[in-house]
């Protein structure tokens, strides 16, 4: 009998589905395709068929399971509370176990992203070839015509100097007093290679408010793209490396400026454990993880009057985009809004359907770029409705996709991380 270990782990969640189809109203993929295989109910049905021995994994099945953003809109609104995200990730893990990752993902995940030094080496190599990519505006480039397969998308260029090359191991509070607390800073890949200024701004903000910040050199990629693609083996390796990197630093919390990273680090205990020992270790690690918005409001409890707006943003109208990994994975919704509303000098306008997925979904936007643009189109409509000058968020992945689609739609809005607005 075939070993269905990964699927057996989530059978209880698969059994929760009532087949009501309520998920179809919330699924961004289904709203574009109107196909049963696009929605949670359809995917769950196929998984149950495999568990029952009535279906084998095929290439078509792999495409169906792969066409999910893991945005969790279905799970958040499911009357039966079916955790379809866990079902999809387990199905992908089963696929990897049976069919392998494929040459491209195996190289990207296991040879590059899973090795911090190798990742930096390849990023520096890519840096040298950026001149070949036409500039759209400022630091934004787009893929040249000869890379047709990935779409002519816009994205920020790699930083001239990566964060790993600018950062110190320890940062003391700027007031010279005894630290209020000691926190570890988790960089994340996009902050390291594309937006190093965000890491430096967060460290500056924390040390201004009496926090000591330590940055372990041997931290790695959080592993989101890897284990959400079903490579749980590499995901566990990265989880163990990251836990080890922060283990002996005696930190009260571990803070990151990336909503996807904070979610991923917290959720090691949900998606990755293969043993009870791993479950306990990952759960203990989760307790220390805080997203930057969550940490500033819930832990530091900084009063509204202490938030100062950078002068270049005075008089602007801003709106907020909820990253899926913040609003649904971590239930972080009020904290970023509290920060923006505390900044005197800007006008805050709530976006219609602010929590609607932007369509990024990590590698989803690589394999299904045309679909990503359609999903992002609805987000662009919401942005237009606000009349805002600036779209603010707290996830570099969302920033990249929002920038791309704002430019594709020839919209005037600029996209910023909340840390860029705070003095």
Q: What's the whole-number average pLDDT of the chain?
A: 92
Determine the pLDDT at residue 134.
63
pLDDT score of 125 = 85
Kind and range of the H or E run holding 190: helix 189-193
In this predicted structure, what is the pLDDT of residue 141? 59
What is the structure's pLDDT at 139? 65
Binned at pLDDT 50, 70 and 90, residue 123 comes out as confident
pLDDT at 387 exceeding the cut of 50: yes
Report pLDDT digits (tens) over 222-249: 999 999 999 999 999 999 999 999 999 9
Starting at the earlier edge strand, list the strands of the sheet with 154-156.
Answer: 135-137, 140-142, 154-156
Rounded CA-CA distance 421/264 in Å is 25
Per-residue pLDDT at 127: 79
Lowest mean pLDDT among 26-30, 124-128, 340-344, 397-401: 124-128
d(CA 155, CA 407): 10
Band of pLDDT at residue 406, cut at 50, 70 and 90? very high
* DSSP, residue by residue, 43-105: HHHHHHHHHTTS----HHHHHHHHS-----HHHHH-TT---HHHHHHHHHHHHHHHH---HHH
Flag the least confident range among 61-65, 208-212, 360-364. Answer: 360-364
The helix/strand/coil state of 142 is strand
55 or 412: whose pLDDT is higher? 412
Q: What is the mean pLDDT of residues 309-315?
A: 96
Q: How many CB atoms lie within 10 A of CB 312?
A: 9
Residue 395 contacts residue 325 (beta carbons within 8 Å) = yes
pTM of the model: 0.93
Domain ranges of the chain: 5-99, 163-299, 308-421
CATH architecture, domain defined by 5-99: Orthogonal Bundle (1.10)
The CATH class for the domain spanning 163-299 reads mainly alpha
> Does domain 308-421 fall into CATH 3.30.450?
no
Structure tokens at 118: 């190798």
Q: How do residues 285-294 score in pLDDT, each as one tens digit?
A: 999 999 999 9
Tokens of 41: 């109910």
Strands (E), 202-354: 211-214, 253-256, 289-291, 317-320, 347-348
Higher local confidence (pLDDT), 280 or 131: 280
């Amino acid at each position: 009998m075939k070993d269905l270990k990964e699927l057996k782990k989530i059978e209880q969640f698969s059994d929760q589905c009532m087949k009501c189809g309520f998920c179809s109203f919330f699924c961004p993929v289904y709203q574009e395709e109107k196909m049963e295989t696009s929605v949670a109910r359809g995917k769950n049905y196929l998984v149950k068929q495999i568990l029952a021995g009535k279906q084998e994994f095929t290439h078509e099945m792999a495409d169906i399971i792969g066409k999910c953003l893991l945005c969790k809109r279905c799970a958040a609104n499911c009357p039966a509370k079916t955790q379809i995200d866990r079902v999809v990730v387990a199905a992908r893990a089963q696929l990897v176990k049976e069919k392998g990752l494929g040459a491209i993902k195996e190289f990207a995940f296991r040879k590059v992203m899973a090795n911090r030094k190798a990742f930096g080496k390849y990023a520096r190599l890519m840096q040298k070839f950026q001149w070949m990519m036409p500039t759209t505006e400022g630091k934004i480039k787009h893929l040249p015509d000869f890379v047709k397969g990935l779409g002519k998308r816009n994205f920020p260029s790699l930083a001239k100097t990566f964060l790993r090359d600018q950062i110190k191991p320890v940062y003391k509070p700027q007031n010279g007093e005894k630290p209020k607390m000691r926190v570890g800073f988790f960089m994340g890949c996009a902050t390291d290679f594309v937006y190093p200024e965000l890491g430096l701004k967060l460290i500056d903000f924390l040390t201004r408010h009496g926090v000591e910040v330590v940055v372990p050199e041997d931290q790695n990629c959080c592993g989101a793209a890897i284990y959400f693609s079903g490579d749980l083996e590499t995901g566990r390796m990265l989880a163990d490396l990251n836990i080890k990197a922060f283990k002996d630093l005696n930190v009260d919390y571990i803070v990151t400026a990336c909503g996807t990273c904070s979610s991923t680090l917290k959720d090691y205990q949900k998606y990755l454990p293969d043993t009870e020992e791993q479950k306990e270790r990952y759960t203990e690690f989760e307790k220390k993880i805080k997203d930057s918005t969550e940490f500033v409001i819930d832990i530091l409890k900084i009063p509204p009057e202490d938030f100062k707006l950078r002068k270049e943003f005075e008089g602007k109208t801003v709106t907020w985009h909820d990253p899926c990994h913040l609003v649904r994975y971590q239930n972080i919704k009020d904290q970023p809004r509290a920060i923006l509303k505390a900044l005197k000098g800007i006008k805050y306008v709530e976006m219609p359907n602010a929590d609607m997925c932007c369509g990024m979904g990590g590698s989803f936007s690589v394999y299904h770029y045309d679909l990503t643009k359609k999903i992002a189109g609805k987000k662009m409509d919401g942005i237009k409705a606000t009349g805002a000058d600036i779209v603010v968020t707290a996830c570099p992945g969302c920033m990249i996709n929002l920038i791309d689609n704002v430019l594709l739609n020839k919209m005037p809005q600029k996209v910023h991380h909340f840390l860029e607005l705070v003095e």
